[in-house]
Amino acid sequence: MDPFREFTGVVVPLDRINVDTDQIIPKQFLKRIERTGFGPYLFHDWRLHTDGTPRTDFVLNQPRYKDGTILLSRANFGCGSSREHAVWALLDHGFRVLAAPSYGDIFYNNCFKNGVLPITLEETLISQLFDEVTTQGGYSLRIDLETQTIHKPSGQQLEFRIDPFRRRCLLEGLDDISLTLLREEKIRSYERKLSPVQSIKVMRL
């Protein structure tokens, strides 16, 4: 997982509440076993007509947002099923930062495990950002995870807070496997102390 320290990107305003994981990545695209390749199917049913042509009114199909890498949305983003594919699709499309008033719990946890930063802000601040993004072309934000600040084009700064452990994992690029490998020597030391019979039992587990 790539470390996340500072990130600047164009903001995409998805002005919807209760965006669930079934809409983020529909079930018919979950057959892949890799974590990549889901980006083209992100918000598939909202992006395309039934004949496969793009919906011009959907935000991701609008030229001004085609290079967007920060997704702005409303409350309860990522609700619904526990599929991790939703985060994979967002990441594969290019989104590294999300900003919303609240998230589905499992989706929120999955973001950190995949190097995506889900920022939680008050409803009023989110509404202000929506107003600014939709009235200013190429609106971008700079996110500094070290200081936990958002830097707006006007120079104004917003603060956000992330759990210290999750923040550390993002800063250092630590996923679940990386965290385990940090204790590799302790694991090997423990294994060396086991008798041959105990070692076999551990391997079987």
31-43 burial: b if 16+ Cβ within 10 Å, else e: eeeeeeebeebbb
Q: Please report, for residues 23, 60, 104, 124, the alpha-carbon distance to residue 18 in angstroms, rounded to integers and kept in the order given.
A: 10, 18, 9, 17
Q: Please report, for residues 39, 58, 62, 151, the alpha-carbon distance to residue 54 in angstroms, rounded to integers and kept in the order given.
A: 15, 8, 10, 33
Residue 21 burial (CB count, 10 A): 24
- CA of residue 105 relative to chain centroid, distance: 13
Residues forming a β-bridge with 79: 20
Q: Pairing relation of β-strands 117-120 and 97-100?
A: parallel
- Say what the pTM is: 0.87
Where are the chain's structural domains? 6-174, 175-205
In the chain, helix, strand, coil percent, each to 5?
40, 20, 40
As its CATH architecture, domain 6-174 has Alpha-Beta Barrel (3.20)
Tokens of 57: 């009114």
Q: Would you state the pLDDT for residue 33?
A: 81
Q: Would you state the pLDDT for residue 185?
A: 60
Q: Would you state the pLDDT for residue 176?
A: 66
Tell me if residue 1 falls in helix, strand or coil: coil
The per-residue pLDDT string of the chain (205 residues; one tens digit each, 9 = 90 and over) reads: 889 999 999 999 999 999 999 999 999 999 888 889 999 999 999 999 999 999 999 999 999 998 999 999 999 999 998 889 999 999 999 999 999 999 999 999 999 999 999 999 999 999 999 999 999 999 999 999 999 999 999 999 999 999 999 999 999 999 766 656 555 565 666 666 765 655 555 455 5
Q: Pairing relation of β-strands 70-73 and 6-14?
A: parallel
